[in-house]
Structure 1
Amino acid sequence: MEKNKALLIIDIQNDYFEGGSNRLCGSEEAAIEASRLVKYFRIRNLPVVHVQHISTRAGAKFFLPDTIGAEIYHSVSPKDDEPVVIKYTPNSFFKTDLKSILDSMNIKDLTVCGMMTHLCIDTTVRAAKDLGYNCTVVYDACATKDLKFQEESLEAKDVQLAFLAALYPYFAQICSVDDIVCGTQEN
């Protein structure tokens, strides 16, 4: 039901873009697609909830408090009436008021986009499922990065595919922005 649906934008912040401290592969393209989702939800007067990661752990190199890098990227900037949830860990629900915000709006279905697919998107979607939310992850409005484990390197496109495949279908439905804005996907 559309009235119980919200867009959850996770960590689309300046440090993930060119000139930032932790540039991701495809961040610019993902931000363009995320801005299309924002417009779609705003036109329909559906809630848009922003999540902003602030890194307070020792040795952190990005999303440092009170820096331009930690600010939400301009193309998905929150409006005054849109909640911004500050988080300090990958899970957007952990020690935040996200659940109470969603519950106050009677949200049951989350459309999720943002960064990084392999960490904050994955962790938040799994937590959302545990809390009873139905999730749809919009893959082309998400970005990640190349990873290395032991002596193996994985390209961002492979990381993206692996994490999306692991979320589908138990934790989330997976679709594109076009699936939503052109009406071929229902949460």
Structure 2
Amino acid sequence: MTSALILIDIQNDYFTGGLWPVEEMDKVAQSAAAILAQAREATDHVIHIRHEALSDTAPFFRPGTAGAEFHPSVAPRSDETVFLKHRPNSFHETGLHSHLQDLGVTDLTIIGAMSQMCIDATVRAARDFGYNVTVIASACGAKSAQFGDVELTAPQVQAAFMSGLAQAYATVI
């Protein structure tokens, strides 16, 4: 069993003052930083995923901006792998799956943001590729959402997506 920690989109635009703040992202980042430190001590493989929009008119993660950069609390070290993605699924056109196969990774721990987009898409794809997936909910951030006339708070969105992932795609702790 070889494991890897994947940190998804813990980037400046998701924090207060950024273009697309996620509720309680500071707490998420604090939890993510602690998990990252443990992974580094255990010499697990650490992979950082950075989302960048394809247009400088996108609502957030615009190319070449400070908002699209990693948050300093979880900045990658020079010996850690970084993948750039342009879609919610971290496996889509990134080489992530090939890299994990080359390392012999079978087990993934996934953290980051946003739970209802990139965490959800990546976890489902990872399971479809056959990985054993663990999601640490305290290190994942969700944003409030609305569909039709139904408004959901960020904690409700988080609970809905974590419960769905826990049913068939991951161990959620």
What TM-score bracket applies, with the shorter chain setting the length?
Answer: over 0.9
Aligned to 1:130: 128
Aligned to 2:82: 84
Which of 14, 23, 31 is the equivalent residue of 1:16?
14
Aligned to 1:185: none
Aligned to 2:147: 149
Which of 15, 33, 44 is the equivalent residue of 2:42?
44
Counterpart check, 1:168 vs 2:163: no
Measured against aligned partners, the alpha-carbon deviations of 1:32-65 in whole angstroms (never above 9, x if no partner) come to 0000010000001111100000001574111011
Counterpart check, 1:26 vs 2:24: yes
Measured against aligned partners, the alpha-carbon deviations of 1:36-95 in whole angstroms (never above 9, x if no partner) come to 010000001111100000001574111011100000010100000101000000000001
Q: Tell me, which stretches of 5 or more residues in structure 1 are unaligned?
A: 176-187
Counterpart-to-counterpart distance in 2, 1:15 and 1:59: 14
Counterpart-to-counterpart distance in 1, 2:168 and 2:147: 26
Counterpart-to-counterpart distance in 2, 1:8 and 1:121: 10
Aligned to 1:108: 106
Counterpart-to-counterpart distance in 2, 1:83 and 1:126: 21
Aligned to 1:182: none
TM-score of the pair, normalised by structure 2: 0.98
Counterpart check, 1:117 vs 2:115: yes
Which of 88, 91, 94 is the equivalent residue of 2:92?
94
Report % sequence identity: 42
Letter in 1 for 2:66: I
Which of 59, 62, 65 is the equivalent residue of 2:60?
62
Aligned to 1:178: none
Letter in 2 for 1:66: G
Aligned to 1:35: 33
Cα drift, residue 169 of structure 1:
3.4
Which of 53, 72, 75 is the equivalent residue of 2:51?
53
Cα distance change on mapping 1:65 and 1:49 into 2, 3 Å: same
Residues 56 and 62 in structure 2, CA contact (< 8 A), matched pair in contact too: no
Q: How many pairs are equivalent?
A: 173
Q: Tell me, which stretches of 5 or more residues in structure 2 are unaligned?
A: none
Instruction: Quote the RMSD (CA, aligned, Å).
Output: 1.0
